[in-house]
């Protein structure tokens, strides 16, 4: 079932490529249908998911590459997908946001074939990131995502699109190099207990595997009783998360005392992974690609970028950074939370200084994603649950905010805040939805933003790793959010109606298609805010197990 999430958009993309140009008004329908199907499958997955289970579910696995390398052991790369309580909310979010983005793509009017093919490709790679459980597969999607994104910004973007797209590309690439290094080191340090058991003749077939056998293999490994030719190395994230599967004395072995650049190797590896995903989240000071990318990207791409792409950063923290290196996470909790707080406050201040609506929202994203980092770094149940929740909530709300910006931009091609005044008089429905999105984003109870901020802050305050004043500084973020959102609301929407003269007559209220995109998002934000257990029920069991590795004995 999970694989269909990958193949629906890929097939759609192929179909767009194969259809002749004369059929170009079909493309958007293909995208829309593919994304709707995708959301339907997401719904089915939601129904099939058992929230009481902490482990990965709906696993699908095929041997992909298996290559004996003599004394270097056996290379094994699997096609392995599955979900748990951390990835499911993000998969659902992706389904919803990509569909809204598809609807929003209807205003794209040039190079339709390329656009829609790339958009569907992007959908597949993003979903791929969230469901891949083999590090190699994950990395493949993670890298491949850059390609459609690069072209989507670079070809359909605003005036400085080349600069923005190349900046985005290089920034993220720099991050992935670090992740790649860690991936290879991990690979060399970890064995696949199942395949190894087969190799050394403990069992004959995968189906015979039991926990006892795995433990036996791990004991053998620890006692140096397995010859290196028989070891099967793996990229499987499930095995990487277990200390017993690490080769003794290996580079990233849990007991290894290898010092690199003055740091223990595992700490260094953790910092590399953190940095790689911190660029994606983004964390200040690695965030400057974001405002540029947002400002230049066309509306649907902004929606996808803020709505789901940034979440891959947070997801990477949870699954790879914190998941594989809990020791590093505990060691650097204070530093990481500090960066989170800096992102919250710094992003908020920058948002306050913007004169471009889209840039203001981009910086507000930086601020809101800071809560995600703060929550994860707190290593508490509240904080991590809150962080996952905040990611979903921000996905919905930022999608809505960028769509709203797009509405105005479509009409006048001007996003400057001071080009408008008193819009409430001529665009009442637009104003109402903007006000809802703004208030939801600034954390009004009843909407989803409140729960995310409440829980991440609560977690950071309860955390044993963090001092209380850190939370106090972070609450400055919620004051700043009120300031920049309400100031914008006051400047653009209230007061007597005024806009630059060339816009007269262009400031019409929302069309049916725009309502169709915005209202479901508003309802979703409200639903999540009123019934947060809808989401927490999904993530609870997994995070409870996840958090155990940080519990202080």
Partner 1 sequence: MFDENTIHTLLWLLIVLPFLSGTLSLLAGRRINLWAGGTAAVLTLAGLGLSVFVATQTGPDVLTLRTDWLLIPGRAVPITFRLDALTLLMLVIVHFIALLVQIYSISYLHDERDRYRYFGFLSLFIGSMLGIVLAGNLIVLYAFWELVGLSSYLLIGFWFQKPAAAAAAKKAFIMNRIGDAGFLLGIFLLLFQSGTTDLAELPDLFVSNGPLATLTGFCLFCGCIGKSAQFPLTTWLPDAMEGPTPVSALIHAATMVAAGIFLLARIHFLLTPDALLLITIVGTITMLMAAYSALYQTDIKKVLAYSTVSQLGLMVIGMGTSNVTGALFHLTTHAFFKAGLFLAAGSVIHGVHSQDMRQMGGLRKAMPLTFIGWAVCAAALAGVPFFSGFLSKETILTGAFDWAGAQGGLAYVIPILAVLSSGLTACYMARQGRLVFFGDARNPENRAHESDRLLTVPVLMLAVLSIGFVFAGNPFSAAQGWFFRLFPAVDNHGGHLWIALLSISVVAVGLWLGWRMPVLTQSTAMSRLSEHNWYLDGFYKRLLVRPFVRLAYLSYGFDRRVIDKLVDFAGIGTVVLAHMIGWADRMIVDGLVNGASWLTHRLGNLTRSVQNGRVQSYIASAVVGLLVILWFLI
Residues 200, 221: Cα–Cα separation, whole Å = 11
382 binds partner 1 (CB under 8 A): yes
CB closer to partner 1 out of 135 and 439: 439
Instruction: For the CB of residue 369, give the shortest distance to partner 1 in the complex, in Å.
Output: 16
544 binds partner 1 (CB under 8 A): yes
Provide the phi-psi class of 505: left if phi over 0, else alpha when psi is between -120 and 50, else beta: left
Minimum CB separation of residue 45 from partner 1 in Å reads 22
Is 350 an interacting residue with respect to partner 1 (CB under 8 A)?
yes
Nearer to partner 1, 171 or 235 (CB): 171
Pair 459, 380: CB distance under 8 Å: yes
Choose between 17 and 166: whose C-beta lies nearer to partner 1.
166
The yes or no reply on residue 170 touching partner 1 (CB under 8 A) is yes
Checking DSSP bridges between strand 263-264 and strand 420-421, what pairing results, if any? unpaired
CB-CB contact of 359 with 266 (8 Å): no
Nearest-angstrom CA–CA distance, 236 and 65: 13
Candidates 41-49, 83-91, 250-258, 344-352 — which segment interacts with partner 1 by CB under 8 A? 344-352
- Nearest-10 Cα torsion for 107, 356, 435, 340: 110
Closest among 300, 351, 380, 334 to 482, alpha carbons compared = 351
- The Cβ-side half-sphere exposure at 325, using a 13 Å CA radius, reads 26
Residue 426, interface with partner 1 (CB under 8 A)? no
The answer to whether the beta carbons of residues 304 and 296 sit under 8 Å apart is no
Q: Is 53 in the site for partner 1 (CB under 8 A)?
A: no
Contact residues for 238 (Cβ-Cβ < 8 A; gap 6+): 56, 133
By CB under 8 A, residue 479 contacts partner 1: yes
* Cβ nearer to partner 1, comparing 102 with 457: 457
CA of 497: how far to CAs of 32, 179, 358, 408, 413, in Å?
37, 51, 21, 15, 18
419: contact with partner 1 by CB under 8 A: no
- CA 217/CA 505 separation, integer angstroms: 74
Task: Tell whether residue 51 is a contact of partner 1 (CB under 8 A).
Answer: no
Q: Which is nearer to partner 1, 274 or 346 (CB)?
A: 346
What distance in Å separates the CA atoms of residue 367 and residue 310, rounded to the nearest whole number? 12
Does 169 participate in binding partner 1 (rule CB under 8 A)?
Answer: no
Nearer to partner 1, 150 or 439 (CB): 439
Distance between CA atoms of residues 151 and 145, nearest Å = 11
Rounded to whole angstroms, the Cα distance separating 77 from 332 reads 31
Helix (H, G, I), strand (E, B) or coil at 496: coil
* Nearer CB in complex with partner 1: 216/426: 426
Which of residues 475, 515, 520, 549 is near partner 1 by CB under 8 A?
475
Nearest to 390 by CA among 472, 457, 292: 457
Tokens representing residue 325 in the block: 């290196």
Query: In this structure, what token pair is assigned to residue 228?
Result: 């290196």
Instruction: Report the residue number, 404 or 454, with the smaller CB distance to partner 1.
Output: 454
For residue 62, the minimal CB distance to partner 1 (Å) is: 34
3 binds partner 1 (CB under 8 A): no
End-to-end CA distance of the chain: 40
Q: For the CA atoms of the chain, what is the radius of gyration?
A: 24
Assess 385 for contact with partner 1 (CB under 8 A): yes
Binding status of residue 527 toward partner 1 by CB under 8 A: no
Size of the site for partner 1 (CB under 8 A): 57
d(C-alpha 524, C-alpha 538), whole Å: 16
Least distance in Å: CB of 37 to partner 1? 32
Helical spans, DSSP H, in 287-413: 289-296, 299-304, 310-316, 322-324, 326-331, 333-352, 357-378, 381-412
Nearer to partner 1, 4 or 462 (CB): 462
Q: Decide if residue 172 touches partner 1 (CB under 8 A).
A: no
Residue 445 contacts partner 1 per CB under 8 A: yes
Judged by CB under 8 A, which stretch of 62-70, 138-146, 461-469, 509-517 contacts partner 1?
461-469
Which stretch of DSSP H or E encloses residue 498? strand 498-499
Provide the mask over 264-303, with x wherever binding to partner 1 is found by CB under 8 A and - wherever it is not.
---------------------x--xx--------------
For residue 439, state whether it binds partner 1 (rule: CB under 8 A). Answer: yes
Q: Any residues with CB less than 8 A from the CB of 25 and at least 6 apart, and which?
A: none
Exactly one of 86, 91, 392, 451 binds partner 1 (CB under 8 A); that residue is 451
Smallest gap from residue 454 Cβ to partner 1 (A): 8
Q: Should residue 536 be labelled a site residue for partner 1 when binding is judged by CB under 8 A? A: yes
Least Å distance, CB 539 to partner 1, is 8
Q: Interface mask (CB under 8 A) for partner 1, residues 480-519, using x and -?
A: --xx--xx-xx--xxxxx----------------------
- Is 352 a binding residue for partner 1 by CB under 8 A? The answer is yes
**Is residue 173 a contact point for partner 1 (CB under 8 A)?**
no
Q: d(Cα 360, Cα 447) in Å, to the nearest integer?
A: 21
Which of residues 246 and 277 has its CB atom nearest to partner 1 in the complex? 277
211, burial (CB in 10 Å: exposed 0-12, middle 13-18, buried 19+)? exposed
* Of the residues 462, 507, 520, 527, which one makes contact with partner 1 according to CB under 8 A: 462
> Interface residues with partner 1 (CB under 8 A)?
167, 170-171, 285, 288-289, 346, 349-350, 352-354, 380-382, 385, 422, 424-425, 439, 443-446, 450-451, 454-455, 457-458, 461-462, 468, 471-472, 475-476, 478-479, 482-483, 486-487, 489-490, 493-497, 532-533, 536, 540, 543-544, 547
């Amino acid at each position: 079932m999970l694989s269909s999430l990958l193949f629906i958009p890929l097939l759609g993309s192929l179909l767009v490529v194969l259809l002749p140009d004369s059929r170009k008004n079909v493309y958007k329908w293909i995208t829309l249908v593919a994304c709707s199907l995708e959301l339907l499958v997401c719904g089915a997955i939601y129904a099939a998911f058992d929230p009481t289970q902490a482990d990965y579910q709906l696993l699908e696995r095929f041997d992909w590459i298996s290559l004996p390398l003599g004394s270097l052991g056996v290379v094994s790369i699997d096609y392995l997908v599955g979900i748990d309580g951390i990835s499911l909310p993000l998969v659902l979010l992706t389904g919803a946001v990509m569909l809204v983005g598809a609807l929003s793509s209807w205003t794209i009017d040039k190079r339709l074939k390329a656009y829609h093919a790339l958009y569907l490709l992007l959908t597949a790679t993003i979903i791929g990131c969230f469901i891949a459980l083999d590090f190699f597969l994950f990395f493949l999607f993670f890298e491949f995502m850059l390609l459609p994104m690069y072209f989507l910004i670079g070809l359909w973007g605003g005036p400085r699109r080349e600069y923005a797209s190349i900046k985005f590309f290089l920034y993220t690439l720099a991050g992935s190099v670090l992740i790649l290094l860690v991936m290879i080191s991990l690979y060399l340090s970890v064995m696949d207990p199942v395949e190894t058991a087969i190799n050394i003749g403990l069992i004959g077939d995968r189906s015979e595997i039991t926990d006892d056998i795995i433990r036996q293999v791990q004991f053998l490994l620890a006692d140096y009783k397995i010859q290196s030719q028989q070891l099967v190395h793996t990229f499987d994230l499930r095995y990487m998360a277990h200390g017993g599967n690490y080769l003794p004395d290996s580079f990233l072995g849990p007991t290894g005392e290898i010092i690199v650049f003055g740091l223990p190797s595992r700490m260094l590896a953790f910092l590399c992974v953190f940095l790689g995903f911190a660029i994606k989240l983004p964390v200040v000071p690695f965030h400057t690609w974001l405002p540029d990318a947002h400002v230049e990207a066309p509306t649907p791409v902004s929606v996808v970028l803020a709505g789901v792409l940034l979440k891959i950063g947070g997801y990477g923290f949870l699954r790879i950074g914190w998941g594989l290196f809990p020791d590093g996470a505990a060691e650097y909790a204070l530093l990481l939370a500090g960066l989170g707080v800096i992102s919250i406050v710094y992003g908020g201040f920058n948002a306050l200084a913007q004169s471009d609506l889209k840039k203001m929202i981009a910086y507000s994203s930086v601020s809101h994603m800071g809560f995600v980092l703060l929550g994860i770094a707190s290593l508490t149940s509240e904080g991590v649950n809150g962080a996952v929740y905040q990611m979903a909530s921000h996905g919905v709300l930022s999608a809505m905010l960028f769509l709203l910006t797009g509405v105005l931009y479509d009409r006048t091609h001007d996003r400057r805040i001071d080009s408008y005044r008193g819009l409430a008089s001529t665009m009442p429905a637009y104003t109402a939805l903007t006000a809802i999105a703004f208030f939801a984003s600034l954390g009004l109870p009843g909407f989803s933003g409140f729960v995310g901020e409440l829980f991440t802050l609560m977690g950071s305050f309860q955390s044993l790793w963090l001092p209380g004043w850190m939370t106090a500084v972070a609450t400055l973020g919620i004051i700043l959010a009120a300031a920049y959102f309400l100031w914008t609301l006051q400047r653009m929407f209230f007061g007597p109606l005024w806009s630059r003269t060339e816009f007269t007559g262009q400031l019409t209220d929302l069309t049916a298609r725009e309502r169709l995109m915005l209202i479901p998002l508003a309802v979703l934000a409200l639903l999540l805010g009123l019934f947060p257990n809808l989401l927490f029920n999904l993530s609870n069991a997994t995070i409870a197990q996840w958090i155990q590795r940080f519990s202080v004995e």
